[in-house]
Amino acid sequence: MKSIEERFWEKVDIRGPDDCWLWTACGSPYGIFNLGARGAGMELAHRFSLSLKLKRPLEPGEWALHTCDTPLCMNPKHLFSGNAKKNVADMIRKKRNSKGARHYAARLTESQVIQIRKLYRKGNPACSLYALGRRFKVCPVNIHYIVTGRTWK
């Protein structure tokens, strides 16, 4: 009978000590590991890998974060303990946060936003929220958020 650690590591493509070790079993985007014991349930694979590294279960609210930013990486050298706040700070520090034109729902470019703000500041009736919305094919509420700085900060 294999130990839980043996079962876990046979689902990982282990490479060089500094390389990403990718999860090869089911579960996306982070991989899911069946703990095997009746009622033990499932665990996100990278959390299980970090718990092996730390030699203890992760606490409630404790997250397994990646230095490599590869969700399927199980290399203990690439994992560290954190929380939701640390995760967001890490994402921002590495410039992985989707904002501006990189945001998945973005309809405008940065140059269009600059143009919208300049046109709106002129106060011309042809540059109302509604007119700008029609011109740039977005909702007037979005134009309002842009000119007031609520979005596209």
Note the pLDDT tens digit of each residue in 78-110.
999 999 999 999 988 887 776 677 666 678 999
Please name the residue ranges forming H helices in 30-78: 45-54
Give the per-residue pLDDT at 20.
Answer: 96
* C-alpha torsion 28→23→62→50, nearest 10: 180
Amino acid at 90: D
HSE on the CB side for 78, CA within 13 Å? 21
Q: Please tell me the distance from the alpha carbon of residue 148 to that of residue 111, in angstroms, as a whole number.
A: 17
Alpha-carbon distance of 82 to 69, in angstroms, equals 14
Domain regions of the chain by residue span? 4-93, 100-148
Model pLDDT for residues 104-128, shown as the tens digit of each residue = 667 899 999 999 999 999 888 788 9
* Euclidean distance between CA atoms 49 and 68, whole angstroms: 15
CB-based contact 21:73 (threshold 8 Å): yes
Among 79, 52, 84, 56, which Cα is nearest to 68's? 79
Q: How many CA atoms lie within 13 A of 128 on its CB side?
A: 4
Q: What pLDDT was estimated at residue 50?
A: 98
- Name the phi and psi angles at 58, rounded to 5: -75, 145
Report whether 48 contacts 33 (CB < 8 A).
Answer: yes
pTM comes to 0.64
Mean pLDDT of all residues belonging to the chain: 90
Q: What is the pLDDT of residues 35-89, one digit of tens each?
A: 986 667 889 999 999 999 999 999 999 999 999 989 999 999 999 999 999 999 9
Whether the pLDDT of residue 135 is over 70: the answer is yes
Q: Are 76 and 53 in contact (CB under 8 A)?
A: yes
